[in-house]
Every structure is written in C-alpha cells, then in structure tokens.
Amino acid sequence: MPHLGSRVCALLGVLMLPLAACGSGGGGHASTQGKRPAGTHATIHVPADAPTISDAVALAEPGDLVLVAPGVYHEMVKIKTPQVTLRGESRDKVVIDGRLQQPDGVVVTAPGVAVENLTVRNNTQNGILVTGSAKAAAGQTGPGGDYDTGSEPVTFLNSFLVSYITSTRNGLYGIYAFSAQNGVIEHSYTSGGADSGIYVGQCKPCHIVVRDNIAELNAVGYEGTNAGNDMYVVGNRLVGNRVGLTTDSDHQEKLLPQQGAVVAGNLIAANQKSETPEQADGGWGIGIGIDGGSSNQFLDNRISGNTDAGVVITATQDIPPDDNQILDNTFSGNGIDLGWTFPNATVGHGNCVRGTGLHTVPDGLGANATACPAAHQTASPSGTWTAPTPPAGIPFTDVAAPPVQPQFPNAAGAPATVVPAVPAVPDTSGVQVPTVSLLAATALVQTS
C-alpha cells in the first residue's frame, strides 16, 4: 500500500548504507555522451554508441530501440521520449542496480514506451515506475510515505509495456503503474517487494492487463488500489508471498472507489512465507483481500493453501465493498475459504459467491448458487474468525535471489516494439482453473 515509504527509509537507515535521501531524485547526466546512429528508427547500442543507458535514452527519438549489452549499470534511467523501446540483450545479465542509493531503477513518463528483457534491483522505492504524475516521477512523498499528489490534477500516461522484466529487492514496488492507462505488464518476475511485487494504482478506466507474471516472496504479490474498469489480472502465479492479491480503495490516492477489475485464471497459493518483507498492515496467510473494492469478478482461480483465508472481503474506513462476484474458483487447503467481515459501521452489499462445499465465515455463503449475482441492496453478513499470528518478516534486501527467467524472443535481432494505443482485452470466457504447476518451472516457491 502507498504509505510504507517512511518505514522503508527507517529500515534502510538501520542498514547503515550510504544512501541518497529516500524519495529524492537521482540518475541522469549533466550532458549526454555518445552519438545516435543516423536514420529513422535507429538502434542505439549500450555501451557501443552511448556509455550509459541514460545517455542512450537521452539520444533516442520516437521509434528507436535502445539495446543494452550485458553488464551491471549503476544508474536511474528516466525515459521521457515517447515510443522508445528499452531492451536488454540478456534478461538476467543486463542489470540496473540501484545499490540502495537511488529511488527507482527505470522511470517512464512518456507514452508508447516498452521496457523489456532486463533486471532491476536494489532500489529504495521501485524497480520500474510508469506514471503520468509529475510528483510521483519526482519521488515526492508525503509524511506517511505515500506520493503527495493532493494538489496535483490526475494526469495519465497513456500506453506502456513492461515485458520480460525481473525486478527484485526493491523498497516499495517491483513494477509500479501509477496514474497510467492502456498498458500491459507481462511475462515478468517480481520478488522482494517490501510492499508489492506488482502494483497498479489510480487509474479509471485503466485499460491495463497484468498477465503471465510470477510474483513471489513479496509482502503482497499484486495490489490494485483505486484501479478499475477494464482492469485485468489473468494467468499469474501469486504464490509464496505474505498476501497473494489485494484489490482495494484508499483515500491516499484519487479516483475512489476501486471497482470493475477482472481477476481470472490465477494460481493464488501458499501465501504465508516468512522469508518475506513484512508489510506495515501486517497481512499474512491471505490469498485474496478485497478491501473496499466493488463490482469485481474473481473467475476460475485456484486458491489454495493460504493459512488464514482464501478470500477476505471487508470495508476500507467509510468505503464499502459492493457487488463483488466470486465465481467458479477452486478452493482447497485454506484456513477458511471465504470470509466476510465488517467490524465497523460500513457494510458491503450485493457480494456473492458461486460454489459448493466451501468453508466460509459466516457459514453457507456459497450454498445457494442462484444467489450470484446478488441484488445490490442485499447486505453482506459479517463474521469473525481467528487469524494466525504472522511471523516477523525479513529486510527486503535479504530476500532470496531470483532464478534465471525466460528471455525475450530474439532480443538482439527484433525491431523496436510498437506499443498499441489500447491493449487487447483478454477473452476470459475460455479461462480455466490453472494447475498448481502454472509457471512453476522458473519459480522458487513451489506448491502441491
């Protein structure tokens, strides 16, 4: 969630490393070195044509490809030119390493940019940040650690692609799309996110697709805050975090409430790993948390082995969770499969579940298959259960190193990627419940 920055800065201070100020800018060069090859849609090689990635992207024109040779690059890359592709020749051998001295690895503030086939690690805030917010791009945080966008109008970055990225050991988010629309996050691996591996925030309508990713050993695998309408989370492996997935409303961001996301065909399992960063909110052992989110559909997911609960629905302060549909998911081995709890005055309405044989609190939530969808005015009953005590977490800097991940096809020979103005919407009608082996070949955390 967006209020963890102050805790992360405190943690980094304890580590006694030479840091830049948390939330400050960084990276870049006073003057650009190197030379762009002549012609349109040029390929700028790093370091052959430009000594650093930052130099190369500063030279790039729309339609260019910045192709990076293997090496460890200690810089923060800011892409401000539209329709540029940044691609590593080798996903695991092209590494942007912040050394815990810079907030972000790559910051994208221009439309139509693709970031592909490289690793980002050891940043105090984000591995990759894609945003239309000037304050977020500048790393301006408020007293609680959230981005201080209170006086800033909502401005979206339109169209982006993050593909075949490994993002690990970052102080907030591995891959972060904030105040951005019309994008895809795919085929990527995130671990060691002190808040979330993948985070989508403040977009409505989003037109964003998050698909075929692995998020493990994070505080939260995927989080969508105030993110809805054409928001798809499909076919991901969210295993071995403290919490698998959350979709929530939060007053610290604009565009309340969260609504209208589709979460389909994901493996959401065993989310109670102690060798993970401890989120400030203390969540642990939860597959899916719906916290003030509304009108979302959860279809054909495999939700298993989460020791607290498979799915939890609750309110966020004064924001109720309404009209969420839990449809045709496979539950097994959870502390409880589904729990609805409203400890305060705010109560959800119209929530429903289709499924039988579920262990729910209150009892019998899925017994009547005809109750889904439910009438909007139907109040959701509230129950309580005993949650397990979460163990202490570990510093994000100590999370296990990721295994080698699949490469972008023909990385060195393929042309620059053309990012569509609006991504194709997944057809979820044919989505099936995944097996426990979904994307398991390159995951550290296995499940049975």
CATH number of the domain within which 311 lies: 2.160.20
Task: Report pLDDT for 356.
Answer: 85
Q: How far apart are CA 402 and CA 412, in angstroms?
A: 23
Checking if the pLDDT of 9 tops 70, the result is no
Show Cβ contacts of residue 169 under 8 Å, excluding neighbours closer than 6 positions.
121, 122, 191, 192, 396, 397, 399
What domain range includes position 124?
43-139+156-442
Task: Report pLDDT for 374.
Answer: 87
Residue type, 26: G
Mean pLDDT within 334-339: 98
Phi, psi of 167 (to 5 degrees): -130, 120
Q: Mean pLDDT check: name the lowest of 27-41, 247-261, 313-327, 345-359.
A: 27-41
Checking if the pLDDT of 174 tops 90, the result is yes
In a domain, 330, yes or no: yes
Q: How far apart are CA 379 and CA 320, in angstroms?
A: 11
At 16-37, the pLDDT tens digits run 333 333 333 334 445 789 999 9
In a domain, 296, yes or no: yes
Peptide bond into 395 cis (omega under 30): no
Checking if the pLDDT of 5 tops 80, the result is no
Is 7 or 128 the better-scoring residue by pLDDT?
A: 128
Phi, psi of 135 (to 5 degrees): -70, -40
Angle, vertex CA 317, rays to CA 312 and CA 323, nearest 5: 50
Task: Give the model's confidence band at 3: pLDDT under 50 very low, under 70 low, under 90 confident, else very high.
Answer: very low
In a domain, 380, yes or no: yes
In a domain, 125, yes or no: yes
Task: Give the model's confidence band at 434: pLDDT under 50 very low, under 70 low, under 90 confident, else very high.
Answer: very high
Task: Give the model's confidence band at 240: pLDDT under 50 very low, under 70 low, under 90 confident, else very high.
Answer: very high
Checking if the pLDDT of 221 tops 60, the result is yes
Task: Report pLDDT for 368.
Answer: 66
Q: Is the Cβ–Cβ distance between 97 and 121 less than 8 Å? A: yes
Counted domains in the chain? 1
Q: What tokens were used for 45?
A: 């090689």
In a domain, 27, yes or no: no
At 42-73, the pLDDT tens digits run 999 999 999 999 999 999 999 999 999 999 99
Checking if the pLDDT of 218 tops 80, the result is yes
Residue type, 437: S
| Residues above pLDDT 70, as percent of the chain | 90
pTM of the complete model beyond 0.75: yes
Mean pLDDT within 281-292: 94
Checking if the pLDDT of 252 tops 80, the result is yes
Q: Which of 1-15, 106-120, 266-280 has the highest mean pLDDT?
A: 106-120
At 349-401, the pLDDT tens digits run 999 999 889 999 999 898 765 578 888 989 999 999 999 999 999 999 999 99
At 72-131, the pLDDT tens digits run 999 999 999 999 999 999 999 999 999 999 999 999 999 999 999 999 999 999 999 999
Task: Give the model's confidence band at 139: pLDDT under 50 very low, under 70 low, under 90 confident, else very high.
Answer: confident
Phi, psi of 9 (to 5 degrees): -60, -40
On the CB side of 311, CA atoms within 13 Å amount to: 32
| Residues above pLDDT 90, as percent of the chain | 83
In a domain, 279, yes or no: yes
Single out the residue of 262, 266, 371 nearest to residue 310, CA to CA: 266
Q: How far apart are CA 29 and CA 44, in angstroms?
A: 17
Q: How far apart are CA 212 and CA 195, in angstroms?
A: 20
Mean pLDDT within 269-286: 92
In a domain, 148, yes or no: no
In a domain, 29, yes or no: no
